[in-house]
Each structure stands twice: as structure tokens, then as C-alpha cells.
Amino acid sequence: MREQLQRIAGEAMAMINEVQDMKALEELRVLFLGKKGKLTGILKGMGALSAEERPVVGQIANDVRNKLEDEISRIKGKLARKIREEKMKRETLDVSIPGTVIPRGRKHPLTLVLDEMKEVFLGMGYDIAEGPEVELDYYNFEALNIPKNHPARDEQDSFYINDKVVLRSQTSPVQVRVMEQKKPPIKIICPGRVYRSDAVDATHSPVFNQIEGLVVDKGITMGDLIGTLQIFAKSLFGENTKIRLRPHHFQFTEPSAEVDVSCWACGGKGCRVCKNEGWIEILGAGMVHPKVLENCGIDPKIYNGFAFGIGLERTAMGRFNIDDLRLFYENDMRFLKQF
């Protein structure tokens, strides 16, 4: 039995020393020292020994057990160190290596100008309203006093989805949606995309942006409209900017006007940008037509108001001195990086 123990001890020591990982080491521990292990197996046969032999063999068995346990824990420590070292090596971080540069984004020039415009109108107490881009013909035309077959529809060649649904050709339908929902006083702007079946050139695009404005209250005058537009024009194009109203016709305002600002390039003297006019048209405006108020359930005998529609691209072209509207949509980084 002594030899048996010695042999097992030798065998175990050799195997333990060869072990390369924790799992194998644990397997060996079970193989030799576990409940059904080889050492335990031998000890079970101790009953057959004589009374003198038993304590001696027991002592040897204990020594073997202790020796194996010590060796196992020594190897365990060695493996743990090795694992830790490998992990450290894997995770070394060279803080001196230059990082990956993530290019910083910036706002699109149209967004920059829209932000400026919002700032101006929010400062005057306006709220921001929204409406759908896929709009009912009723809101885009009918309710704005533009009945079917009216020639005013031709000016806004529209994309129809079906008889009743159209891609809105102007932001004016939001006026109606707001007035249906809210009683005066109303003071809103509505920025958004609009659609017209126009061919693309330096000043036209089938998709562009407008900013609608609407004020409805008691005793609103044309003077209020002009004052508001003056503040807007000066804020965007500079203190010396003047505005000019030319009589015009819109179905949903009476009286109506087209509004020009003094040329941002030459200040009004006449140049290439303003085609020697000294003025550049940027918006339409007028006093809200009584019929439109009525269509929205607002009594025109009590309330009145003004409205305007500003072209965002036009304004941005002026603000940044850009001569071709297509630049806004081409996503050319050489252009966009300049803002």
C-alpha cells in the first residue's frame, strides 16, 4: 500500500506539473483527491491493514494529500499570474497613438437662416405651428378662397396624389388648420417644405421651403404688418435694409402685396444681384381675407389680421450672397463647409 501511495504521489506530481490551464488542474484535483479519486480509493482499503500499520500508512496518506494540495495551489497561483499577465499584455493601451478623428458636423445654411428667422419671430411673441406636407386640396386651396378651376391655381402647379390630396404648394394651409383649432389672438409662424412641379434652375426647385406667418386679433392694421416685416428684414439683412410693398393679388389676402427688400449686395444702388433694380422680392403678404376667417369659424366683423409667406431659400441666398439655389441641395461639402 505504501508503494501504491508513493506511485500515485509521483504520478500526480508529474501530471500536475505539466498542466497548462485551470480547467485541467481542477480535473486532476478531482482525479486524485476527489471523493471518488485515486487517493481516496486507496484509503478505503485501509480497513484491511493491521492495527500497527494503519497509523503509519494513514500518516503517509496524509502527507501525500498535503503535498498534492500544496502543489496544486502552487500551480494554481502560477497559472493565475500567467493569465493576468497575458490579459495585461492584451490590454496595453498606448495613449500616445493619435486617435481617430471624427469630423464635426455643422448646420446647413438653410437651417442657420431658419434658426435666425425663428429667433426674430419668437422674440416678437410668435409661436411655431406645423402642418402636413401631404395636404388636403381643401386646406391648400379651397379654404384659402381658391376654388376649383380658379386661375390662381395655375400659378402653383401642384403634385396631386388624387383628386382630394395634394403635396402642399404653400405653407398657407397651416393658417387654416391653426384657425380651426384656436381662437384669436393668434400669432404663429410655420416653417416647412412645399412642392411645385417646377423645373430646376438657379432660382427654382420642385421642393423648397417657406415660412408662413399669421396674426389674428382685434384691430390689426397694415401698419402692424409693415412694422413686423421691417423688423424681420433689418434683423436678417442689416440695420440699413428697407422694405417696399408692391400691390399684388393673393386670393387669401385683401389688400395683398409683394414685398421687396433693398438689395443686400448694393444697398439699393443697382447691381448684378438685383438686376439693377435695387430691390429683391422675398415674400408675399396682406390682410387676411374675411372669407378665409369665415371659413375657419372666425367672425370677420370682430377679428382681422395679417399674413405673410417668406421664401427660405430666397432669404438664405440674400443672407449669404449665394447666386444659385441648387447649391443648397447638392450636398457638396466644399460649399457646406463655408458656413
Pick between residue 173 and residue 318 the one whose CB is nearest to ligand DAH. Answer: 173
Pick between residue 32 and residue 306 the one whose CB is nearest to ligand DAH. Answer: 306
Residue 175 beta carbon to ligand DAH: minimum distance, rounded to whole angstroms: 7
Report how many residues bind ligand DAH under the rule CB under 6 A. 11
Residue 277 beta carbon to ligand DAH: minimum distance, rounded to whole angstroms: 20
295 binds ligand DAH (CB under 6 A): no
309 binds ligand DAH (CB under 6 A): yes
Pick between residue 268 and residue 284 the one whose CB is nearest to ligand DAH. Answer: 284
279 binds ligand DAH (CB under 6 A): no
305 binds ligand DAH (CB under 6 A): no
SS3 call for 101:
coil
Count Cβ atoms below 10 Å from residue 129 Cβ, excluding itself: 20
Q: What angle do CA 329, 332, 336 make, to 5 degrees?
A: 85
Q: How far apart are CA 263 and CA 200, in angstroms?
A: 24
Pick between residue 8 and residue 292 the one whose CB is nearest to ligand DAH. Answer: 292
Pick between residue 38 and residue 187 the one whose CB is nearest to ligand DAH. Answer: 187
Query: Where does this chain touch ligand DAH (CB under 6 A) — which range of 6-14, 88-96, 101-109, 306-314?
Result: 306-314
Q: Which of residues 145-204 bind ligand DAH (CB under 6 A)?
A: 170, 172
Residue 148 beta carbon to ligand DAH: minimum distance, rounded to whole angstroms: 18
253 binds ligand DAH (CB under 6 A): yes
Q: What angle do CA 21, 22, 28 make, to 5 degrees?
A: 95
229 CB contacts (<8 Å, ≥6 apart)?
243, 259, 283, 285, 308
Kindly list the residues in this chain that would bind ligand DAH in the complex (CB under 6 A). Answer: 170, 172, 212, 250, 253, 284-286, 307-309
